[in-house]
Amino acid sequence: MSEDTRKRLGIVCEHTDAIRTRLGGVHSGPALLDAVFECARRGQDLTEPLNTLHKSLSALGDTRGLLGFSSDDRYTGSRDLHVAGAGALRPSDDSYECPQGRCSRVWEPNPSEEPPTCSFDDRPLHLKQRR
């Protein structure tokens, strides 16, 4: 599976509810998301269902499609709020990743939250400890 496919699948896993809501008003929109889930569960090629989902989301007005749901390409620009003496958060030593290794979803621990589960098979994300 290509890295692009793994990234887009990770976006679907992390933002399933938001994507389903966005597609809710479109005839057979949720079926597009269901097709991605079905192919992932069966281990089939995800390129076509992900492309179709991406194009459908783009047609709804967000030209970024699936990437519009991604949080990993956040840019902090000169117009963003900056607090003196406070820098960017330091990444955790540990992270949680896809339990099947099928997508590139990564979740960094937050003491106030339980680790999320995989949207495809409801298994908890797998702890990966960095040394």
Amino acid letter for position 51: N
pLDDT, mean of residues 88-105: 74
Instruction: Say how far apart CA 100 and CA 123 lie, in whole Å.
Output: 9
Instruction: Say how far apart CA 19 and CA 21 lie, in whole Å.
Output: 5
Instruction: Say how far apart CA 71 and CA 5 lie, in whole Å.
Output: 16
Q: What is the pLDDT of residue 131?
A: 59
Residue appearing with tokens 């069966």: 42
Sheet holding 106-107, edge to edge: 106-107, 94-97, 126-129
28 by Cβ neighbours in 10 Å (0-12 / 13-18 / 19+) ranks as exposed
pTM: 0.71
In DSSP notation, 34-74 reads HHHHHHHHHT---HHHHHHHHHHHHHTT-TTGGGGG--TT-
pLDDT tens digit sequence for 26-62:
878 889 999 999 999 898 999 999 999 999 999 988 8
Comparing 11-15, 74-78, 110-114, the range with the smallest average pLDDT is 74-78
Crossing angle of helices 47-59 and 16-23, rounded to 10°: 60
pLDDT tens digit sequence for 106-130:
888 888 888 888 888 888 888 887 6
Q: What is the pLDDT of residue 83?
A: 55
Q: What is the pLDDT of residue 35?
A: 95
Q: What is the pLDDT of residue 82?
A: 47
Q: What is the pLDDT of residue 72?
A: 58
Q: What is the pLDDT of residue 15?
A: 93
pLDDT, mean of residues 90-101: 75
Instruction: Say how far apart CA 107 and CA 94 lie, in whole Å.
Output: 9
pLDDT, mean of residues 97-108: 84
